[in-house]
Amino acid sequence: MKIKCPKCKKVAELSPDFSLVSCKSCNLEMSYGEYVKFIAHNDVTYSDILGDYTGSTEGQTAGSLDDWDSQSG
């Protein structure tokens, strides 16, 4: 699948199993999880997508980007 490279903004490829994002223009390679985190940190519009990666959010908010960072790594 073609997606926008977060580094050079050209066309990048997302592997069919959603495990790897790669861009031939700037030699970027990162996991899809890292891609989501990168996009969320660099574009406030997408910061709410981090909630999809925090596990069960029943009865909780997704938290801030700093909260998510401390939980994911």
How does pLDDT run across 11-63, given as a tens digit for each residue? 999 999 999 999 999 999 999 989 988 887 877 666 666 666 555 555 555 55
Statement: residue 72 has pLDDT above 80: no
Q: What are phi and psi of 14, to 5 degrees?
A: -105, 125
Q: Name the residue range of residue 39's domain.
A: 2-72
Statement: residue 1 has pLDDT above 70: yes
Task: Supply the pLDDT for residue 64.
Answer: 59
Task: Supply the pLDDT for residue 42.
Answer: 79
Structure tokens at 30: 């990162």
Short-list 14, 50, 40, CA closest to 5: 14
Task: Supply the pLDDT for residue 37.
Answer: 84
Residue 4 β-bridge partners: 11
Total of domains in the chain? 1
